[in-house]
Amino acid sequence: MNIIHKRPIAEIGYNFIDSQYLPKGKNEYHLRDIQNKNRGKFRKLTPEEKVTLINNNNTSDNWDHILVSSNFNPKLVKNSNFFGLVRIGDLNPVYHEFHNFKMAEGIYNSTIISCDIANHVCIDKVSYLSHYIIEDDVMLANINELATTDKAKFGNGILKDGEKDEKQRMVIEVCNENGGRYIIPYNGMLAGDAYMWSKFRDDKLLLEKFKELTEKKFDKQRGYYGKIGARTVIKNCAIIKDTCIGTDAYIKGSNKLKNLTINSDAERKTQIGEGCELVNGIIGYGCRIFYGVKAVRFITASHSQLKYGARLINSYLGNNSTISCCEVLNSLIFAAHEQHHNNSFLCASLVMGQSNIAAGATIGSNHNSRSADGEIIAGRGFWPGLCVSLKHNSKFASFTILAKGDYPSEINIPVPFSLVSNDVTNNKIVVMPAYWFMYNMYALTRNAWKYTDRDKRTHKIQHIEFDYLAPDTVNEIFDSLHLFKSLQPNEKGEAEITGWENSSRKILITKVPQATATFSKMIKLYACMQMLHIINSNKIQDFETFKKLLKQNKKRSDWMNVGGQLIQTELVDQLKANIKSGKIKSWEEIHKFYQVQGQKYEMDKLAHAYTSLLELLDMKSKDFTAAFFYSLLKETITVKEWMFEEIYNTRAKDYKNTFRKMVYNNDEEMVNVLGKIEDNSFINEQRTNVDTLKRNINRVCRKWKLKL
C-alpha cells in the first residue's frame, strides 16, 4: 500500500481537521482562536507590503491569508514560504541575544504552515513549522521539523474523536512490567495521584473514577495547536512534534521531542539539551534534561533532572530527583531520588523517596517466574549499596541500607533504619536494626537537611515529609519493638528468625538490646520535638494551655506514604469513598484534599507523637504532668547532644582512619583537600541547632516554671 499521498498544493495549509470531526458551524480555526484569544488585532497586507515580501523572495499560496499586526515590518521577512492562514505580529529591526546566541528579529529561510506568530519573534532556518501558536520574543533557529497534528494529545493519556480502541491510549506502566498497575498520565499529575491509581487495583470503581476524572480534564475535539510560550529559545533540533512548551524554556540540540507537555515559566525554567529523545511524556516545571537522555512514556515532576544518557521508560520520577547515566523502567519514584551511575538498574519498583541507588545495583533485574510480574517496594530512605542485586518480590522498611552483595532470594525487611548484609560465608542474612542511629548519624541527619534544603518547589501542593522521624517510621519502630519482645537474644545480643527470606536459611538480627534502647529513645525524641515545634510556632505561654492541645488517640493512627506526603490511612479511605460517590469530581479537588491534609499535618503529627509517647511508656494522659514534661525536655537535650557527638564522630573518622589518610603525604595536604572538620558547614549548623534547642528548652522551663 502506498503510504505517500498526493494532493493539490493549494490544500497544503488547510483542512487541518477532517470535516467529519468539525462541529457544526465551526471552521478549522475555531480551537486555534480559542487557544490564542489574546492575539490582538490583525489586518491584511497592504499592496506595498506584498511587494516587499515578494521582492524578499517570500512566497504564499494566498497573500490574503497572511494577516499582520499594525507594526508588522515586511523587510524583516525573507526567503520564506507561507501556506494557509498565518498571522504575524510586530517586528522591529533589532536582534535578540541569549547566552551569546544572537538572532535578528524576523522570519528567515523557513516554511510556515498555518501558524500564529506573536510579537518580536526570531525565526531562522525552520524547515517545516506547522500549526503552532508562538508567543512573544520566542527564538527558533535551525529546526528540521516543528509540527502539530490534528490528534495531538501533548503527552496526556486521552483519546480524540474517532479513536475507539483503548490501545491507542497512552498509559504509563509503573511498578510492574505486565502493565497491571498502569496509570493514565495527565499534565499536573502528582506522585500521590500516581500512587493511588497504581496501588488500589482491587477497587474497580475507584479506578474507573480516576479515568473519568482524567478524561474530564481534556477536550476530545481534534485540532488543537501546539504552543511555544514567550521567551522560549529552541535551536539546533531535529524533530519537535505534538509538543506544547511553556514560557522561558531552553531547548537545544535535541534529536526528537514528540507528544510532550514541557512545563516552564519565568521562575521555573525548564531546559532540554543535546542528543535527547523524549516521547510520550510530561515534563514538570524547572526540569533539566540533557546529554543523550532517552525517555518514553514518562512523567518527570518539577525540578527533577535526567542527564548523561539516562533511560527512563514507563516511569514516574518525583520532585527534586536526579537520574543520570543509568536505566530505570516501570517504576514509581517519589521525591528526592538520586541515581547517578551508568551501571545501575531499577525496574518494576515503588521507591518512596529520599532514596539513593549506588553503582552496580540491579534492583529487580531477576524474574522469578515465567512472566514479568514481580515488584519491589522500598520505603523512604532506601539505600542499596554497591553492586547490590535484588529479586522480585522484595519489600523494605524505611531507611534500609543494603550492604554490597547478591541477594539470591526474595526478602522482606520490616525493621527500619537497618543495615542488611548477605553473609555468604555463614550462609545467612544479617540485619542490624537502628544502624543509622548507632553508626551513621552524620549521613542520616545530613540527608534530612539536604532534601529539605534542596526542595525547590514553589507550588507545594503535597506536603512532602523529609524528617526521618515521622508517623510512618515511628509506626515501623513500634512494630519492631513488638517483634524484639518475642526474641530471645544470646549474650551477644543476637537472635535468629525465619520468614524474612524466601529460603530455608535463618535471618540473624544483631544488637537487639541496643536497638531496643535506641528505638525507644527515638520515639521519645520524636514526641518531644513535635511538642516543642507546636509550642514555638503557636507561642504557647504555659503548660496548662499546651496540655489542652494534646490529644491522645484511642490508638496510634495508621499512616500511608501517598507520593511522599504522609496521610492517615482512615483519611485516605474517606478520600477514596468520596471519589467513588461522586462527592469529589475532579483531580483539582483531590489536590485540594492533599493541601488540606498538609495544613492539618502538624497537629495530626502532634497527636500521633503524643499517643506514641504514652504507648511507649504505658502512661495515661493524666500522667503527663509538668514535672514529667520537664524531665522529657532535659532528656531531649541529652539525646540531641549525643546525636551531635555521633554526627561529629562519624565525619571525624575520615580524618583519623589510616587508610583514609594514606593517600596524603601529611595532614596539611589532607586538610587542603578535605578542609578542616571545624569548618564543615553542616556540622557547624548542627552544633548551632543543638545550642538553639538548649536555649529554647531552658527558656520554656523558666517561663513555664517547670521543675521536677
| pLDDT per position as a tens digit, 112-142 | 999 999 999 999 999 999 999 999 999 999 9
- Confidence band (pLDDT; 50, 70, 90) for 369? low
Residue 301, pLDDT score: 97
Sign of the CA dihedral with 78 first, then 84, 89, and 95 last: negative
CA distance 605 to 611: 10
CA distance 259 to 154: 5
Looking at per-residue pLDDT, the higher value among 329 and 6 belongs to: 329
End-to-end CA distance of the chain: 91
Per DSSP, the three-state class of 136 is coil
CA distance 196 to 183: 9
665 Cβ contact partners less than 8 Å away, ≥ 6 residues apart: none
| Of 479, 326, 488, residue with least CA distance to 398 | 479
Joined grid coordinates for residue 505: 536459611
Burial class (CB in 10 A: 0-12, 13-18, 19+), 488: exposed
Which of 234-243, 276-285, 318-327, 334-343 bottoms out in mean pLDDT, i.e. has the lowest?
334-343
579 Cβ contact partners less than 8 Å away, ≥ 6 residues apart: 206, 209, 210, 213, 590
What Å distances lie between residue 627 and 111, 292, 536, 698, 700, CA to CA? 81, 63, 19, 14, 13
Residue 442, pLDDT score: 86
Beta-strand relationship, 428-432 and 419-423: antiparallel
Which residue has cell 485516605? 572
Which residue has cell 527515638? 522
The whole-number average pLDDT for the span 389-415 is 95
The whole-number average pLDDT for the span 600-612 is 96
Partners of 245 in beta bridges: 228, 262
Residue 368, pLDDT score: 58
| Of 50, 54, 55, 66, residue with least CA distance to 13 | 66
CA distance 659 to 311: 36
- Confidence band (pLDDT; 50, 70, 90) for 629? very high
> By 3-state DSSP, what share of the chain in percent is helix, strand and coil, each rounded to 5?
35, 25, 40
pLDDT at 63 over 80: yes
Helix axes of 587-617 and 569-581: crossing angle, nearest 10 degrees: 150
Joined grid coordinates for residue 532: 516543642
| Of 640, 628, 635, 629, residue with least CA distance to 692 | 640
Per DSSP, the three-state class of 588 is helix
One-letter amino acid at 134 equals I
Joined grid coordinates for residue 19: 470535516
416 in Cβ contact with 389 (< 8 Å): no
pLDDT at 377 over 60: yes
The whole-number average pLDDT for the span 299-317 is 97
Joined grid coordinates for residue 163: 479513536
pLDDT tens readout for residues 215-248: 999 999 999 999 999 999 999 999 999 999 999 9
**Residue 623 DSSP class:** G
Percent of the chain residues topping a pLDDT of 90: 84
612 in Cβ contact with 556 (< 8 Å): yes
Partners of 363 in beta bridges: 346, 390
CA distance 639 to 22: 71
CA distance 548 to 182: 46
Beta-strand relationship, 81-83 and 129-130: unpaired
Q: What are phi and psi of 259, to 5 degrees?
A: 55, 65
What Å distances lie between residue 598 and 192, 449, 499, 567, 594, CA to CA? 13, 20, 37, 8, 6
CA distance 437 to 446: 12
Mean pLDDT value across the chain: 94
pLDDT at 106 over 70: yes
- Confidence band (pLDDT; 50, 70, 90) for 367? low
pLDDT tens readout for residues 528-575: 999 999 999 999 999 999 999 998 788 999 999 999 999 999 999 999
For 500, how many CA atoms within 13 A lie in the half-sphere containing its CB?
Answer: 21
pLDDT tens readout for residues 250-286: 999 999 999 999 999 999 999 999 999 999 999 999 9
Find the radius of gyration of the CA atoms of the chain.
30
The whole-number average pLDDT for the span 96-105 is 96
